[in-house]
Amino acid sequence: MTFPMTPTITAFERSPDRGKGLARDMRVRWALEEAGQAYEVRLVSFSAMKEPAHRALHPFGQIPTYEEGDLVLFESGAIVFHVAQRHAGLLPGDANARARAITWMFAALNTVEPPILELQNARLLESDKPWSEQRLPLVEGRVRVRLGELSARLGRADWLDGGFSAGDLMMVAVLLRLKPSGMLDDYPNLFAYVARGEARPAYQRAFDAQRAVFTGKPPTGR
């Protein structure tokens, strides 16, 4: 199944991560690639994001957004959910399994991502504050609690609940934010889980496409 109109998403014109795939357009690209759905990308500068034209799409002046005909969406979770609902492969057909996969999407966004975000803010935005050094272990500890809990639940399984789903896509995308910090190395099953996500051909295509924005070279099409 494909959408009647090719959707357009927005992404950073110049991502601060320099093509590492850590911005939130990556999870949307990944979902679209898993779905086999062609899409277009409009690149937006930091200043254009705050202009009325972009705010009409995204009230908070951020990326990603998603346009498909008359439909305009923002929030990466809502966009991935929309794609997953409309295409086979990202959500199971069985109603209960589907509800559980959606639960994992929420868990990724609402339980696991917030402490990770807090840690990144503490490291990037608060390092010059006199209390930063004292606060950092606390914030790091909160991330470790979640990683420990998630690691215990995943155990030796490949994916969180049966086959790969949008829940895994979101969880891997969230955990990837920790990759540069090396924190995942202490949780071998989570490290392997993330690597499994990254190894998916759809992930690779999405990663190459967002990286091409930074390098200026077209994706290799692997």
Q: Which residues bind ligand GTB (CB under 6 A)?
A: 15-17, 22-24, 49, 61-64, 75-77
CB of 152 to ligand GTB, least distance (A): 26
Q: What are the residue ranges of helices labelled H in 24-65?
A: 25-35, 46-49, 52-55
Between 49 and 194, name the residue whose CB sits nearer to ligand GTB: 49
* DSSP secondary structure, 75-139, as one string: SHHHHHHHHHHHSTTSS-SSHHHHHHHHHHHHHIIIIIHHHHHHHHHHHHHSTTSTTHHHHHHHH
CB of 24 to ligand GTB, least distance (A): 4
Between 61 and 162, name the residue whose CB sits nearer to ligand GTB: 61
CB of 136 to ligand GTB, least distance (A): 18
Between 76 and 210, name the residue whose CB sits nearer to ligand GTB: 76
Between 50 and 153, name the residue whose CB sits nearer to ligand GTB: 50
Distance CA 140, CA 196 (A): 25
CB of 23 to ligand GTB, least distance (A): 4
49 touches 61 (CB < 8 A): yes
CA nearest 154: which of 199, 188, 105, 203?
188
